[in-house]
Amino acid sequence: MAKTTLITGATAGIGAATARLLAKNGYDLIITGRRKGRLNNLKKDLEENTTAKVFTLNFDVRHRDEVEQALDALPDEWKDIDVLINNAGLAAGLGPLHEGDLDDWEQMIDTNVKGLLYVSRKILPGMVERRKGHVINISSTAGKEVYMNGNVYCATKFAVDALNKAMRLELVDHGVKVTSVNPGFTETEFSLVRFKGDEKKAKNVYQGIEPLHGEDIAEVILFILNRPDHVNINEIIVTPKAQANAYYMHREK
């Protein structure tokens, strides 16, 4: 039977690429995000081109009531979620803490940490009850090492790393697997969002290197999910060849 997989932030980047790859590989999908039009287009595309069943849920992970209402309203046949991919997230701004924008901080903390918690709190009890499930938390190289001017974004990803470890400890007795995927530079809408639509600044991030693409991370996620039941990948760090750690890149001139 196809595994039911809920992906947060499936309207772009890593989440959308993962939805496409999982749909081709026999997973049924609940795709979520704020941009309803994109969710509907992706559902149509996947249903036309794969055998996957696809359900869309349109909510903002920062709003606890929206998260709860959306997940409570899932039809019975979609309620038993086998795989949760906590992917929705963003960076807003890049600059020293002493010049930071408090609204940016709130947005990152509310999305990357509190949003992940709201969604997980609704879905984990079902996995525990059924003694079955797999949670994949998308953290970052920024959750392993702090880089210059990354301060609050890095802090949110360190928090995801801590929550990933906590989930694994607390869910291991309940038969639920927990994995963190920590990507490095991946060319998605991430930098465009970080620099608030400034395409030049966004492009500059990947100047002189071949970054990862959403599809590269999707492949890693599929590998993690396709391990035999007794095998769990605890965590994985994936970077472009040109990236040594969170802050050192080899850039071709």
Using CB under 6 A, list all residues that contact ligand 8X3. 91, 140-142, 150, 153, 185, 246
Measured CA to CA, the distance from residue 14 to residue 93 in angstroms comes to: 20
Judged by CB, which is closer to ligand 8X3: 37, or 96?
Answer: 96
* 240 interface partner picked from ligand 8X3, ligand NDP, none, CB below 5 to 8 A per type: none
* 243 interface partner picked from ligand 8X3, ligand NDP, none, CB below 5 to 8 A per type: none
* 90 interface partner picked from ligand 8X3, ligand NDP, none, CB below 5 to 8 A per type: ligand NDP
Question: What are the catalytic residues?
Answer: 153
Mapping DSSP onto H, E and C, the string for the chain reads CCCEEEECCCCCHHHHHHHHHHHHCCCEEEEEECCHHHHHHHHHHHHHHCCCCEEEEECCCCCHHHHHHHHHCCCHHHHCCCEEEECCCCCCCCCCHHHCCHHHHHHHHHHHHHHHHHHHHHHHHHHHHHCCEEEEEECCHHHCCCCCCCHHHHHHHHHHHHHHHHHHHHHHHHCEEEEEEEECCEECCHHHHHCCCCHHHHHHCCCCCCCEEHHHHHHHHHHHHCCCCCCCCCEEEECCCCECCCCCECCCC
The CB-nearest residue to ligand 8X3 is 140
Shortest distance in whole angstroms from residue 211 CB to ligand 8X3: 10
Measured CA to CA, the distance from residue 68 to residue 119 in angstroms comes to: 8
Judged by CB, which is closer to ligand 8X3: 30, or 218?
Answer: 218
Q: Quick one: tokens of 211?
A: 């970054």
Shortest distance in whole angstroms from residue 153 CB to ligand 8X3: 6
Judged by CB, which is closer to ligand 8X3: 118, or 185?
Answer: 185
* 127 interface partner picked from ligand 8X3, ligand NDP, none, CB below 5 to 8 A per type: none
Shortest distance in whole angstroms from residue 24 CB to ligand NDP: 19
* 34 interface partner picked from ligand 8X3, ligand NDP, none, CB below 5 to 8 A per type: ligand NDP
Site residues for ligand NDP per CB under 6 A: 8-15, 33-35, 60-62, 87-90, 111, 115, 138, 140, 183, 185-186, 188-190, 193, 214
Shortest distance in whole angstroms from residue 184 CB to ligand NDP: 6
Shortest distance in whole angstroms from residue 196 CB to ligand NDP: 12
